[in-house]
Amino acid sequence: MLRILMLLWGCLFYYSYGFAQTDSTKILNADSSETSRPDSVLRIVNLSPFFTLHVDSTLNYQLQINRDPDQYFWFLKNSPIGLKLNKDNGLLNFKAEKSYFLSGKLKYDVNYKVLVGVQSLNDPSKKIDTSFTIIFYNTEIVRTRIKPNVSGTIYVDEGEPLDIKILCESGSFPFENIITLVSHPLGFYTDVKKCDQSFQWTPSYEFVKESDSAKVKVVTLNFIGATKFQVKDTAIIKVVVRDALDYPLAMKEHEQVVKNLERYILQLKFTFLQLDRKLKKTKTVRTSFDLTSASTSLTGTILATSSSEQAQRNGKILPSVGLAIVPIKEATAPNKAVDQNQASSIRTSIKRLEYMVRDNQLLGERDWEVAKKTNKLKDELKQIQMQLIDVPIELTNNLTEVELNRYFNSPKVNKKYRLKTK
């Protein structure tokens, strides 16, 4: 029984050994056939198409080819700063130093495409060019902040343009958009939506109301920036708007008042001309009567001393004729003292108004005394009109301004109405 079992065991062992011998032969033959087949294409067998590195990390990567590496050399093209490749053995080395990113030579989240190649030392036609991508990221999150070119509280006057440039301090993630919020309705203003844009606004002259305390109004400007991850930063600026004079409107008002004064002065000059002509005509008539009366009296005196009785009789009558001419003179051309006084008053008023117009001229486009000068001209015009309220002002005339001024400033008129001392 024991012999039978040993015989069966020996047969089984012999059969298993023969089968294994046959299979391993087949496998070795297959492997030897595959390895003996040459690879006809030069290639890098372990190139990774994408590398991701964080700041202050180091990359050491050995590139391999399906050829004898001693017969080939390696090279790089378009590589970022700091990336090195050993030309003899294909060892890729890089240390992502933080200084590269702080200086701006490298940037985060940017795909850098690097061209890598290998070429035979003996046959230049045997070469391969390929590429891989490397990207850098930062584990430290730096917040992006809004930095306006002004800060705190600023003061502006009504009508003064306001220009605030909104700058951004770059961080890990830039702002996708900026929202502008104001505490009061401002009317028209330039909104800020992106970095490096300007907020522009000009307060109207009616922005500050009479009910506002201290004649100022405070406006709060909020600039809110948000990244793609909704991380937000806010810059707050307070604008104090002060009540100011509307210079364009005030200048127009001053110009209109000056025009009214000049027109009134022309009316006074024409009235003065009419009064002066009447006075001149009256003076001529009275002078004619006086000469006639004097001539008659003198003739009567001469004839009274004559030897002829007829002549003596006429000489006695002529002095009476001279005396009779006097009441006729007063009745025909009475002395117009009222007109004389009115003419003098008008001339004085004209001189005063002309002086006031010259004395209250504006000094530039933003004369800070424009309101004071305008009110002074208004008061002076009203005062002159009250003084000459009984004088009939001629509203129309056929003389030009040049002719009126020539007559008014003539030497005869100046001599006639100048101040006389006793």
- Of 195, 226, 244, which residue is a domain's last? 244
Check whether residue 192 and residue 334 sit in a common domain: no
- Of 74, 107, 137, which residue is a domain's last? 137
Check whether residue 366 and residue 273 sit in a common domain: yes
Check whether residue 273 and residue 363 sit in a common domain: yes
Check whether residue 281 and residue 396 sit in a common domain: yes
pTM: 0.47
Domain of 198? 145-244
- Of 219, 244, 269, which residue is a domain's last? 244
Number of domains observed in the structure of the chain: 3
Which residues are CB-contacts of 86 (< 8 A; sequence separation ≥ 6)?
A: 74, 92, 93
Check whether residue 191 and residue 98 sit in a common domain: no
Check whether residue 261 and residue 313 sit in a common domain: yes
Quick one: pLDDT at residue 199?
94
> Would residue 319 count as lying in a domain?
yes
DSSP, res 243: P
Burial of 21 (0-12, 13-18, 19+ CB in 10 A): exposed
> Would residue 7 count as lying in a domain?
no
> Would residue 30 count as lying in a domain?
no
> Would residue 285 count as lying in a domain?
yes
Name the residue among 25, 130, 114 with its Cα closest to residue 77.
114
Q: What is the mean pLDDT of each run of 10 residues along the chain (422 residues)?
A: 49 43 39 50 85 85 87 88 87 86 84 90 86 85 87 89 91 87 90 92 88 89 90 92 86 89 83 72 59 64 66 62 57 56 80 89 83 89 82 61 70 65 50
Check whether residue 309 and residue 322 sit in a common domain: yes
Check whether residue 305 and residue 240 sit in a common domain: no
Token readout for 167 is: 């700058």
> Would residue 10 count as lying in a domain?
no
> DSSP strand E in 55-190: where?
58-62, 72-77, 84-85, 91-95, 112-120, 127-137, 145-148, 153-157, 162-169, 177-182, 189-190
Quick one: pLDDT at residue 350?
85
> Would residue 15 count as lying in a domain?
no
φ and ψ of 421, to 5 deg = -105, 145
Check whether residue 402 and residue 263 sit in a common domain: yes
Radius of gyration of the chain, Cα coordinates, nearest whole angstrom: 57
Check whether residue 91 and residue 182 sit in a common domain: no
Check whether residue 254 and residue 266 sit in a common domain: yes
> Would residue 42 count as lying in a domain?
no
> Would residue 381 count as lying in a domain?
yes
Please say whether the dihedral angle defined by the alpha carbons of residues 364, 365, 370 and 374, taken in this order, is positive or negative: positive
Check whether residue 193 and residue 260 sit in a common domain: no
Distances in Å between the Cα of 283 and the Cα atoms of 13, 303, 368 are 172, 30, 51
Token readout for 84 is: 């090195």
CATH number at residue 66: 2.60.40.10
Name the residue among 315, 356, 355, 338 with its Cα closest to residue 392.
338
